[in-house]
Amino acid sequence: MGKIVRVGSRGTSRRIAEKESDNWTGDSYKEVQKKAKEAAKDRYISFGRGTKRIKFSEIPETSGRPTGKGLWISTGRGTGKRKLQ
C-alpha cells in the first residue's frame, strides 16, 4: 500500500514502514480463516462445558448472517417495540 509512520517502544521511537493490506475483514479474512481451519483440521476442540469434543474439520461452514426481517425489537428502555422492515 503506502508508507506510514509506526510508533514503537512505549512511544519513544518512530520508524517508517510499508503498510500491508488489511486482512481482518471481508473476503480476504475468509481466506485466512479457511487456511487456518485447513491447517488445524486434525486437532480436537472441546465444548459443552468440556464434556464433548470434535475435530476442527467437522465444524460446518457458515453461510452468513440471518436477516432480522419481520422481527420485533425493543426501543427506548424496553418500554416500546417496533417491527423490522
pTM of the model: 0.48
Report, as an integer, the average pLDDT of 50-78: 89
Percent of the chain with pLDDT over 70: 98
Q: How many CA atoms lie within 13 A of 48 on its CB side?
A: 4
Domain residue ranges of the chain, discontinuous segments joined by +: 23-61
Tens digits of per-residue pLDDT, 29-50?
A: 888 888 988 999 999 999 999 9
> Among residues 14, 33, 13, which one has the least CA distance to residue 23?
33
Which stretch of DSSP H or E encloses residue 32? helix 26-39
pLDDT, position 1: 62
- Nearest CA among 20, 33, 84 for reference residue 61: 33
